[in-house]
Structure 1
Amino acid sequence: MEMNAHYTSFVAVGDSFTEGMSDGLPDGSYRGWADLLAARLAARSPGFRYANLAVRGKLIGQIVDEQCGPAAAMGADLVTLVGGLNDVLRPSCEVDRVCALLDRAAARLADGGGQLVLMRSPGRRGPVLERFRPRMEQLFTRIDEAAERHGAVVVDLYGSRTLGDPRLWADDRLHLNAEGHRRVAEAVWQALGLDAESDWDAPLPAAAPPGWGTRRAADLRFAREHLVPWVGRRLTGRSSGDGRPAKRPELLPYEG
C-alpha cells in the first residue's frame, strides 16, 4: 500500500488503551501512544490538529454509538480505531456480535475519508491471555478482513515478540506502561510509512526472574488494588469510564 507520509489531523477512537492508561503523567492524567504519535506528527506539520475520543472501559457498542459518528464528522486525514477487547475479556461474550460491531465502526470511520488504522491489540503473557486467546484471535481475524474491505492499515501488536513481556505492562496487568506505549507509537509511526526512529519490537535486556516472595507480594497487591475493584464493577454493572468525558473531544491544534 502506498502511504501518505504527510498528515495534518488525527483523531483517535477507542477505550483505555487509546486513552493512554497507564502511561501516567505527574498531574495524574495519562499520555499514551496516541498522544505520543500526535506529538511526532505535529512536529512535521504546522497547525496539526488532534482529537482523542477514547474513554476507558468502553465496549465496542458504546464506541460505535458515542465516538464513531463524531470522529467521522471531523474529517481528519488519519483515524485510529482500537476496540472490542473489553468485550472479549468478559466472561460472557457474543464474539460474532462484537466482530460485527467493530466492522460497523470501521465502515463508519472509513466513510470519513481519512486513512484508517486498525490494530491487533497486544496481550500480556500469562494465564489470562491463554484463557481468552481463541476469542482474541477470532476478533483479530475479523479486523484483518475489515481492513481489507476498507483500505485500512493494520498494526500487528499481538504478533510482537516483545509486547507480551510483563515488564512492559503496568501493575494492573491490563494496560501498558510508559515504555509499552512508546513502542506502540513507534509501531504505528512505521506502519504509516514514516522513517523508523527505533526498533519498536526489540527484546528487553535479559533479567533474572523475581523471587517467590516478590512474585507473591505483587500478586497480593494486584488482587487488592486492581482485581477486587474490577470484579466489583462487573458485579454492579459499572464501568471505570462511566460519566467520564473524552480527554480531547474536539479536533484542535495540538499543543504538547
Structure 2
Amino acid sequence: MKPRLTTLGDSFTQGHGDDPLCGGWTARLAELLGVAGGRTRNLGAFGATTQDVVERQLAAALVNKAPMIGLNVGVNDLISDYEPDRFRRNVELILGTLAGPNTTVFTATYPPIPRIAALPPAFRELVGSRFTEANDVVRAATGRHGVLLLDIARDPHWLTPELWSDDDLHPSPSGHRHFAERMAELLAGAAGTSAHTGRWAG
C-alpha cells in the first residue's frame, strides 16, 4: 500500500523520548491529519546525520513516493560531525530530491537544545554558532525548493522544560505532541484545510 506520509531523519523523527505507544511526532501528525493506519512510513534512525539520510534513507523515500514527506535531521551533524560545506550540500540535495509536483515537503529549523547550556562556555559558543548557521542554511534551502518550514528556532515555547526529556537532547512526549500540532497547523494552512481533517485522509 502506497504511504500517504513518509518521514526521514534522526532520533527526533524516529520518536525517541516519546511514549512508545504514541510513536513520536510522525505518528501523532498522521493521526491529526487523518492519515489511515499503515499508510505512514517512518525512516528515521537514531544517530543519523544528513549524510546518513543521503546514503540510506533518500532512495527509500522515493519508492512509492508519498504525497507528503517530512524531514528532521542535522543535530548530529552540528554536535559531532559538522562540516559546513557538506552540511549545506546535503540539505540542498535532500530537499531538492524530495520536492516536486504533487508532493508537499516539510521540515523545521533546529531548536535551542537544553543540553547545550551545560557545555563548557567555549564549546557552547561554538555549537551555538553552528546552530545559527545551520538554521540560515535550512531557511534558504526551503525557500529555493518550495519546502514548508516550521521555524521552531524562533519559537520561545521550545525553551519550556516540559517539552524536553530527561536527557535534554530529545523532545518529551509533550514536545513530540507540540511539534506534531504545530506542523499540522502549518500543513493545514498550506492546504487550506482544517488541521484535523482534509486532503491527507485515506
The answer as to 2:103 corresponding to 1:108 is: no
Kept after mapping to 2: 8 A contact 1:75/1:112: no
- Structure 2 residue aligned with 1:16: 11
Q: What pairs up with 1:58-97 in 2 under 5 angstroms?
A: 58-90=48-80, 93-97=82-86
- Structure 2 residue aligned with 1:54: 44
Kept after mapping to 2: 8 A contact 1:88/1:135: yes
Kept after mapping to 2: 8 A contact 1:124/1:166: no
The answer as to 2:140 corresponding to 1:145 is: yes
Which amino acid counterpart does residue 81 of structure 1 have in structure 2?
A: L
User: Cα–Cα, structure 1 residues 46 and 23, in superposed 2: closer, same or farther, change >3 Å?
Assistant: closer
Post-superposition offset of 1:121: 2.2
Q: What pairs up with 1:1-256 in 2 under 5 angstroms?
A: 9-25=4-20, 31-42=23-34, 49-90=39-80, 93-111=82-100, 113-125=102-114, 126-128=117-119, 130-192=125-187, 193=189, 194-195=193-194
Kept after mapping to 2: 8 A contact 1:119/1:155: yes
Which amino acid counterpart does residue 159 of structure 2 have in structure 1?
A: G
Larger Rg: 1
Q: Secondary structure at the match of 1:162?
A: helix
> How many positions carry a matched residue from both structures?
186
- Structure 2 residue aligned with 1:228: none
User: Cα–Cα, structure 1 residues 38 and 47, in superposed 2: closer, same or farther, change >3 Å?
Assistant: closer
Decide which moves more: 67-76 or 181-190.
Answer: 67-76
Structure 2: give runs of 5+ residues left out of the alignment.
none
User: Cα–Cα, structure 1 residues 19 and 47, in superposed 2: closer, same or farther, change >3 Å?
Assistant: closer
- Structure 2 residue aligned with 1:200: none
Post-superposition offset of 1:180: 0.7
User: Cα–Cα, structure 1 residues 131 and 165, in superposed 2: closer, same or farther, change >3 Å?
Assistant: farther
Kept after mapping to 1: 8 A contact 2:30/2:40: yes
Kept after mapping to 2: 8 A contact 1:19/1:56: yes
Structure 1: give runs of 5+ residues left out of the alignment.
1-7, 198-252
User: Cα–Cα, structure 1 residues 171 and 130, in superposed 2: closer, same or farther, change >3 Å?
Assistant: farther
Aligned partners of 1:164, 1:46: CA distance in 2, in Å?
33
User: Cα–Cα, structure 1 residues 130 and 87, in superposed 2: closer, same or farther, change >3 Å?
Assistant: same
Post-superposition offset of 1:100: 1.0
Two-structure CA RMSD over aligned residues (Å) = 2.4
Q: TM-score, normalization: structure 1?
A: 0.66
Task: Give percent identity, aligned residues only.
Answer: 28
Q: Secondary structure at the match of 1:163?
A: helix
Aligned partners of 2:15, 2:112: CA distance in 1, in Å?
16
Runs of at least 4 residues off by over 3 Å: 45-48, 127-131, 194-197
Post-superposition offset of 1:139: 1.1
Aligned partners of 1:99, 1:85: CA distance in 2, in Å?
13
Post-superposition offset of 1:36: 0.0
